[in-house]
Structure 1
């Protein structure tokens, strides 16, 4: 019988480049900078990957951090 393993990392399709995340969040009415995103990554110890000199992070994780930022919980 096979068991399902738990993967501690997000699926590859969720990984998004920091500048792209910044560009997507500017239309929300609560824009952020790449430096804000980097601070959230460090404060929440989020998983990142480097590829071709660019940093990628889970878009879902950043959306949760952005929600905390907007609601004043951050």
Structure 2
């Protein structure tokens, strides 16, 4: 009998570096700094991957945090 596997982490293609995410969010009209993104990672205890000197995090998770950030400014 096969059982489904629960994968607690995001798909690898969704992982971007903090620098890449910062650059993507510039186009939204609500740019943020790398420090903002790092704070969201800590506050929401988001899963990260470290490769060499870069930190990778789920772009989808950061988009949700960004949405909360923009919504709280109104």
**Shared fold per TM-score greater than 0.5:** yes
* Number of positions where the alignment pairs a residue of Structure 1 with one of Structure 2: 73
Listed as ranges, the gaps of 5+ residues in structure 1 are none
Q: Scaled by the length of structure 2, what TM-score is found?
A: 0.95
Q: Scaled by the length of structure 1, what TM-score is found?
A: 0.95
Note the C-alpha offset of 1:52. 1.4
Q: Deviations over 1:13-54 (max 9, x none)?
A: 111000000000001000000000000000000000100110
Over the aligned positions, Cα root-mean-square deviation in angstroms equals 1.0
**Which 4+ runs in 1 deviate beyond 4 A?**
none
SS in 2 for 1:32: coil
In structure 2, distance between residues paired with 1:9 and 1:35: 23
Listed as ranges, the gaps of 5+ residues in structure 2 are none
